[in-house]
Chains A and B, each alone.
Chain A
């Protein structure tokens, strides 16, 4: 199926520009290779929030996958800048946060900063796939208020940002 689609009109995912932000080269290289195997071709790596903002000033990206724990500007500060700072290069860009800090209070903190999806590290490839599908297929309303800017924190599916079914818990 994938080959058929690709042979019809090129690889559709080649049109999607992804910015991966992680200070650990092992993770960013691995993530890049996984995304390439998914079919993404336009992938840029930045090592912290500040470098990511520079990349975003240079050109348009469609999706960000960002770590939390980084020196200079961490993932939360980076997303806060994107969502709230008047000089933000892109208020609306979807952000998948990848983090080893997967305790509920940290997930909530990430959600309140305006992330689109959260994925706990270490992650399984199939979970990354799920988050990407969610970003493409189930975009949410985007809220701009005095206290919060980001995708609506209410999900019609009842799922929390980490993908767990909250209603069943």
Chain B
């Protein structure tokens, strides 16, 4: 293994030269010639093949999300595991929904995740907002609504934005006074 070359600046910062070890390891071949657009298409096909199965599997996650919500809504204590599980599941659905073409689910899960992250405590109304998000997610996957769901999808997102926007318990309220 070659010793990496570096220079030291007067403040002690060491700057190492760019390391082309990975490129050298593949024989100096430009990796673009290995991972071609055709290869990308084949990889995308793998995702396409998994769409059906994903929609079925994710319903299990949503059932888990519903259970965490039920547990959390008993006392709305944000320090319990159920709140963390709810947030993690929302983030997971946000992260993978769009990969399988469920862009609306990603947007709804994003709305839920951000709503949970912004709140400092929950009352009945804000708990209800969480429940509405879960209902929406359940329907998206039950009816296999792909993409952004057209006009209906737009309405769902707009309604959720209104609901989450009117919440009174956000950590950082932005007021007209700034």
The tally of residues in B whose CB lies under 8 Å from a CB in A reads 50
Stretch from A43-51, A130-138, A159-167 that touches the partner:
A130-138
CB of B148 to closest CB in A, whole Å: 13
Given contacts A5-B34, A12-B27, contact A92 B92 (CB under 8 A): no
Interface residues on A, range: 35 or more
Given contacts A1-B36, A133-B35, A137-B30, contact A27 B95 (CB under 8 A): yes
Given contacts A12-B34, A143-B15, contact A26 B57 (CB under 8 A): yes
Chain A positions 134-168 with a Cβ under 8 Å from a chain B Cβ: 135-137, 139-146, 152
CA distance A75 to B143 in the complex (A): 34
CA distance A146 to B95 in the complex (A): 34
CB of A82 to closest CB in B, whole Å: 15
A137–B39 CB distance below 8 A: no
Stretch from B6-14, B121-129, B152-160 that touches the partner:
B6-14
CB of A132 to closest CB in B, whole Å: 7
Is A108 engaged at the interface, CB distance under 8 Å to the other chain? no
Given contacts A1-B33, A92-B16, A135-B22, contact A30 B40 (CB under 8 A): no
